[in-house]
Structure 1
Amino acid sequence: MPAQDQPAARRSGARAGRAVARPRRRRRGRRRSRGLRADRESRTVNKHTTYQQLRGHLAYLKLTAAAEQLPAALEAAEKAKPGYTQFLHDLLDVEVAATRERRLASRLRLAGFPSTKTLEEFDFTAQPSVDRRLVDELATLRFIEEKANVLAIGPPGVGKTMLAIALGLKAVHAGYRVYYTTAADLVARTSRAALEGRWQTTMRFWNGPQLLVIDELGYLPMPGEAAAHLFQVISRRYEHGSIILTTNRGIASWGEIFDDHTVAAAILDRLLHHATVLQIDGDSYRMRSHRARLATLKAGLNHPDEGGEFSRSHLGNSHDR
């Protein structure tokens, strides 16, 4: 080949070599792109699998609230970038709150309160005989820790049941096991258990709550066997669990309730040994409310222009019924 043609030939060969090499580089680039895509897809699949496994673990451990909160928690974590400890704390905090709510609802259901009354609702000004400081001390629930008792004495309608329920409700919210019953129902259930051969099981039931509220002792007489059954419940709980007991009868007349002074003395001995006595006097809330409604009604009748005609008409219809 002529010398002058050699550089041109080499340049032509180099260009040809480069032209041939370029497609190989493009193929390597395509393979690299496919590899990156596959790697991303693999990571996505693995991430999804891990998420499903995590949900499964939470469900298996019965951490249902945490499992439900997981998607929102992960989304928030993507933005806030919390540490591992903080993320786990936030997720479990949801589960703990849900568990507390479920347990509170369960304790309230098992307590069997006939109504929900709080200490904040109690009108201390209407019942000045109630020692507010003493009630505030009972509201600390220290008496439950000490396995002591509360005896609320007073005529019907002065707020004994309301105070007993309010203290019981506060105990439930504090995490204690509480059960409410009337004295008549307690005696009926223990008598039935004795007849059906379930005495020991029933005694374990009455001994179970940390606080047992026994309402309305003294409204009905408890002769013989009934008194013995109540004594058994109180005796088994003595220094093992607290009792709040309400009664309309003074301590001196308990022999009349049980028709047996010996049983009455034995019950009082165990109740009063570690007890706070709330003596409540005054008018009945129900009678006071009745008088207030009656006064309002009379005021309406005396002022026809302010609704008296309606009141007369309403009274006439009520009488007809």
Structure 2
Amino acid sequence: MTLPRQRGLTEQAADAAIDTACRMLRLPSIRNEFPDIADRAVKDQMTYRGFLAELLMTECDDRARRRSERRIKAAGFPREKSLRTFDFDANPNIDPATIHTLASCEWIKKGQPLCLIGDSGTGKSHMLIALGTEAAMKGYRVRYTLATKLVNELVEAADEKQLNKTIARYGRVDLLCIDELGYMELDRHGAELLFQVLTEREEKNSVAIASNESFGGWTKTFTDPRLCAAIVDRLTFNGTIIETGTDSYRLASTRARAEAPATAS
């Protein structure tokens, strides 16, 4: 299809031509934002080059946003969590400076592991999802899973002779987030398969784990002491360990909100 080109188009005809061209070239952001940007260009007396740059940057920014949204969706997070909504005051055991450093994602770029350890309700899952979301927003491929779900998937894959394919699929993500490690004892076969995922990932890949058990308590999950030691060594080598503490993060947050009106008065 060729668009008719002629001089002296009316404003209405020009708008129609722009709309058609944007559809053909798949430029939805320019098509949607063009009228407002054009009006602003007239008001601000933009040059032609400035006007064109504004249009193109609008399209680029929107495409980056949509790619980020697709990566976050592909990660499979069970709910939305962000660092902005994390209540650091309710859990003073977590250093905000350390978390914001982690949010830069340099540790993922270097393929380093991260361990979040603490009792239930201390904000581990919130932090795990929030940091995973930050990584997805910065262009990294992220995958979230529960430890038991991952092990069950690996066992099924091994039974169906698809283990290598499944491990390779997890190996392609830049950051693998494993939540709720330590809530259930794994049999030897399941523990060995999980160990395989943790150790056979390429060096450029990172893993982040949230566990309600200290490393000393991981023997309840990995009953083979040597296997347990090997996994701990893998995760602590050049890794970051954050202890979220023993006080209930959820209860502390609730208590702080309940006391807020009385304090304000």
Output the TM-score relative to the length of structure 2.
0.81
Output the TM-score relative to the length of structure 1.
0.68
Deviation, structure 1 residue 291: 8.0
Deviation, structure 1 residue 147: 1.2
1:183 maps to 2:126: no
**CA 1:123–1:80: 2 relative to 1, 3 Å:** closer
CA distance in 1, matches of 2:91, 2:36: 52
After superposing the two structures, state which structure 1 stretch, 263-272 or 118-127, moved more.
118-127
* AA partner of residue 221 (structure 2): I
| Structure 1 vs Structure 2 CA RMSD | 3.2
2:160 equivalent in structure 1: 196
1:140 equivalent in structure 2: 104
Deviation, structure 1 residue 49: 8.4
Deviation, structure 1 residue 220: 0.5
CA distance in 1, matches of 2:247, 2:43: 63
1:154 equivalent in structure 2: 118
1:99 equivalent in structure 2: 63
* AA partner of residue 62 (structure 2): A
What is the CA deviation profile of residues 233-262 of structure 1, one whole-angstrom value per residue up to 9, with x for unaligned ones?
A: 111225221111011222123233122122
Higher relative contact order (CA 8 A, sep 6+): 2
**CA 1:96–1:265: 2 relative to 1, 3 Å:** same
1:255 equivalent in structure 2: 219
SS of the equivalent of 2:89 reads coil
1:129 pairs, out of 93, 114, 132, with 93
CA distance in 2, matches of 1:156, 1:118: 19
What is the CA deviation profile of residues 69-112 of structure 1, one whole-angstrom value per residue up to 9, with x for unaligned ones?
A: 44555566567664332121111122112212211221221122
Q: Assess if the C-alpha contact under 8 Å between 2:147 and 2:181 holds in 1.
A: yes
1:271 pairs, out of 235, 248, 253, with 235
SS of the equivalent of 2:218 reads helix
1:116 pairs, out of 80, 94, 106, with 80
CA distance in 1, matches of 2:36, 2:98: 48
**CA 1:213–1:268: 2 relative to 1, 3 Å:** same
**CA 1:149–1:75: 2 relative to 1, 3 Å:** same
Deviation, structure 1 residue 183: 0.4
CA distance in 2, matches of 1:127, 1:110: 30
* AA partner of residue 98 (structure 1): D
Aligned length: 254
CA distance in 2, matches of 1:123, 1:176: 25
CA distance in 1, matches of 2:95, 2:27: 46
Q: What pairs with 1:193-232 in structure 2 (closer than 5 Å)?
A: 193-232=157-196
What is the CA deviation profile of residues 278-310 of structure 1, one whole-angstrom value per residue up to 9, with x for unaligned ones?
A: 123222234557889999xxxxxxxxxxxxxxx
SS of the equivalent of 2:245 reads coil
Deviation, structure 1 residue 276: 0.8
What is the CA deviation profile of residues 210-247 of structure 1, one whole-angstrom value per residue up to 9, with x for unaligned ones?
A: 22111111111111221122112111225221111011
2:263 equivalent in structure 1: none
Deviation, structure 1 residue 129: 2.8
1:83 pairs, out of 29, 47, 68, with 47
SS of the equivalent of 2:176 reads strand
* AA partner of residue 58 (structure 1): C
What is the CA deviation profile of residues 58-79 of structure 1, one whole-angstrom value per residue up to 9, with x for unaligned ones?
A: 3333222223444555566567
1:245 equivalent in structure 2: 209
CA distance in 2, matches of 1:78, 1:294: 52
1:59 pairs, out of 17, 23, 27, with 23
What is the CA deviation profile of residues 149-205 of structure 1, one whole-angstrom value per residue up to 9, with x for unaligned ones?
A: 111112222221122122222222323222211101111122222233332332222
SS of the equivalent of 1:220 reads coil
CA distance in 2, matches of 1:82, 1:104: 30
* AA partner of residue 235 (structure 1): T
CA distance in 1, matches of 2:31, 2:96: 46
**CA 1:50–1:130: 2 relative to 1, 3 Å:** closer
